[in-house]
Amino acid sequence: MTPTAHALNGLLTRCAKAKVLVIGDLMLDEFVWGKVSRISPEAPVPVVWVQSESVMPGGAANVANNIRSLGGQVSVIGLIGEDRWGSALLSDLAARRIDTAGIVKAQRPTTVKTRVIAHHQQVVRVDREQRERLPAGVIERLIASAEARIKEADAVVIEDYGKGVVTRQLLESVIPLARTHQKVITVDPKEEHFDLYHRVTALTPNRAEAGGAVGRELESDADVQRAAREMLQRLECGAVLITLGEDGMWLFEQGGRDVRIPTVAQEVFDVAGAGDTVIAVFTLALAGGASLEQAARLANQAAGIVVGKLGVAVVTPQELRARLTNKPSSIRKRLVRTR
């Protein structure tokens, strides 16, 4: 039976008691807000008059922020540099009451994405990052940090943005240990690492990532179905939740069951960070005792809220409860941006 709004609403109370460990690539999202009134005489580019600046947790830190926003208890493990950006991210997470004791500092720049936004449109994005393989000692510190915290968590999220934290060595330690302790394990994957995600609870790729995993583009519904079944068989995971943008999401479970979930987005301003919200809410719901379908439907409701906000955003319990009492309407696109 399809979960009712009342049943999904009840999940929110249980979510507040769940403990989640987030492991992955930490980022700081910086926003420069302004307006454009002319084109530069030096080059055919807009001149942005800066009016304000702000920062938000990004990547795995945004997943943790989404979990905390819904009342869950969350610890985060990842890497930051010994720089002002790393200090800013630590301070921001601590202010949100997110446990940062597992974060490792290293001689490597903190990953920062700077977005310049004028009149509700992104003008340019500037990325500061380093993707070279981490030294063995740093990987060992990350593993030790994870091993010390898995036992106390109800669920483990692996957030792989391909920045170097999620490695074979780390996964070969973390996944078996989490399975031994019977934890929920979810992964927001990068296609080049798909073969490392054996026997997790669920994967949450988007259409492009799922296509990359099977080596072909997924142009039709039949393509999506075949790709999901291949991933389930190859990785022996419990489920694959493929996000399809304006077409909603599609949940595939071991045993052959699948559920197509249409989008509930009413307006689409910005899709940045929507995948982070999906895995955060999906995992938190599973940790609270939800079924895979209940968790997916709640995550779909949350994603429909955050894409209606400009910039990397989170969803609150109040927003989710309000959404669950209303019927979805058609999508109105305003600004769509990929992750």
**CA 155, 161, 164, 166 torsion: positive or negative?**
positive
Phi, psi angle pair for 280, to nearest 5°: -65, -50
3-state per-residue secondary structure call for 44-79: CCEEEEEEEEEEEEEEHHHHHHHHHHCCCEEEEECE
Is residue 315 a contact partner of residue 265, using CB atoms and an 8 Å limit? Answer: no
The shares of helix, strand and coil residues in the chain, as percent rounded to the nearest 5, are 40, 25, 35
Q: At what angle do helices 60-69 and 84-95 cross, to 10 degrees?
A: 20
Is residue 252 a contact partner of residue 229, using CB atoms and an 8 Å limit? Answer: yes
Catalytic residue among 25, 154, 188, 276: 276
Is residue 184 a contact partner of residue 287, using CB atoms and an 8 Å limit? Answer: yes
Distance of alpha carbon 77 from alpha carbon 214, whole angstroms: 29
**Beta-bridge partners for 252:** 240, 258
Strands 121-128 and 73-77: what pairing?
Answer: unpaired
Is 276 noted as a catalytic residue in this protein?
A: yes
DSSP 279-324: HHHHHHHHHTT--HHHHHHHHHHHHHHHTTSSSS----HHHHHHHH
Q: Active-site positions? A: 276
